[in-house]
Amino acid sequence: MQNNNFAATLASVASEFGVEDTAKHGRGIKPSKRPYFRWTDEQLEQLATLRDEGKSANEIAEALGVSRDKVITKL
């Protein structure tokens, strides 16, 4: 697999610079505590409708049940 070649190459280069593979010691990359957010088709339709009605980001966020920052980023 290509990913295995990449991992081997990365480990090889890291060892040349004296960097240890932290994953061996349990200090590797940790998964995100927050799941990735995906907009549903219905939410996107509602977002567009509410925006066209002149609603504020706060009002849209409250109506959709998402954060204001997510609304602003999507708009």
Domain membership flag for residue 17: yes
Cβ 47 vs Cβ 56: under 8 Å: no
Domain membership flag for residue 19: yes
Single out the residue of 45, 72, 41 nearest to residue 59, CA to CA. Answer: 72
Domain membership flag for residue 30: no
Report the predicted TM-score, pTM, of the whole model to 2 decimal places: 0.53
Give CA 40 to chain center in angstroms. 16
Q: What is the span of the domain harbouring residue 56?
A: 2-25+36-74
Distance from C-alpha of 25 to C-alpha of 32, rounded to nearest angstrom: 19
| Greater pLDDT, 50 or 8 | 50
**What percentage of the chain carries pLDDT values higher than 70?**
69
Domain membership flag for residue 31: no
- CB count in 10 Å sphere of residue 39: 13
Average pLDDT value over all residues in the chain: 80
Tally of structural domains, the chain: 1
